[in-house]
Structure 1
Amino acid sequence: MSTALTLTTGSDPDGGRVLTAVGEIDMSNAAAFAAALDDAVRPDGDPLVVDLTAVEYLDSAGLAALFPHAERIALVASPLLEPLLSISGLADLTTVRSG
């Protein structure tokens, strides 16, 4: 059984791409999250903003989906996730903003 996760791709006011995740990201849905990242990230151009402010849980499978794109993404995270992104080392590889 898959954990509830909603993924939407849109644009910010400046026209940049934004992938918004709502729910929990774990091993049951990390493949869908990774596929959404693969589809939304553009190798040339502005970084994709990944909005994790409505993510209540992020496990190692979700983190593993983010690492390959670290150079082409910027994260917006809730205070709940910020320590995890820092401890994992992801915050050293990409921009993490509070959301």
Structure 2
Amino acid sequence: MTTALTLVGGPGDDGARVLSVTGEIDMSNAAEFGAALDRELAAGTAVTVDLTAVTYLDSAGVAVLFDRADAHDLRLVAPRLLDRVLRVSGLPQVVKVMIR
């Protein structure tokens, strides 16, 4: 059973935008994830994507992040569970990733 995707955006404590994500990100909801991320990117110059409550991330979700990495100041906060998929994808070479 998959965990529903929940996306909550808004300003963080430092004024930068934060997109908090809960659930699973896969090809069935990657477009929804991308649209939420685009809204946050339109509202601020830097966005922290909080993935600490994400339990699954597939290549479609990683592609959403890669597609926006070059043109935007993205920062990821991710659980140890996602460390391997992020490292294997090479995403830490293009965005700042903090593993918690």
Q: One fold, TM greater than 0.5?
A: yes
Partner of 2:79: 78
Number of aligned positions between the proteins: 97
Moved over 4 A (4+): none
Structure 1 residue identity aligned to 2:12 = D
C-alpha deviation, 1:42, in angstroms:
4.0
CA deviations on 1:44-88 (whole Å, 9 max, x unpaired) are 73x200000000000011111110111421000000111111110
Is there any run of 5+ residues in structure 2 with no aligned partner, and where? none
Structure 2 residue identity aligned to 1:85 = L
Q: Partners in 1 of 2:63 and 2:76 — Cα distance?
A: 14
Is there any run of 5+ residues in structure 1 with no aligned partner, and where? none
C-alpha deviation, 1:94, in angstroms:
0.5
Name the TM-score, length of structure 1 as normaliser: 0.89
Partner of 1:20: 20
Partner of 2:59: 60
Structure 2 residue identity aligned to 1:83 = R
RMSD: 1.8
C-alpha deviation, 1:36, in angstroms:
0.8
CA contact under 8 A between 1:3 and 1:26: conserved in structure 2?
A: no
Query: Among the aligned pairs, what percent are the same residue?
Result: 53
Name the TM-score, length of structure 2 as normaliser: 0.88
Partner of 2:98: 97
CA contact under 8 A between 2:79 and 2:99: conserved in structure 1?
A: yes
C-alpha deviation, 1:3, in angstroms:
5.5
Structure 2 residue identity aligned to 1:9 = G
Question: Quick one: structure 1 residues 24 and 58, their matched pair in 2 at CA, closer, same or farther if it must change by over 3 Å?
Answer: same
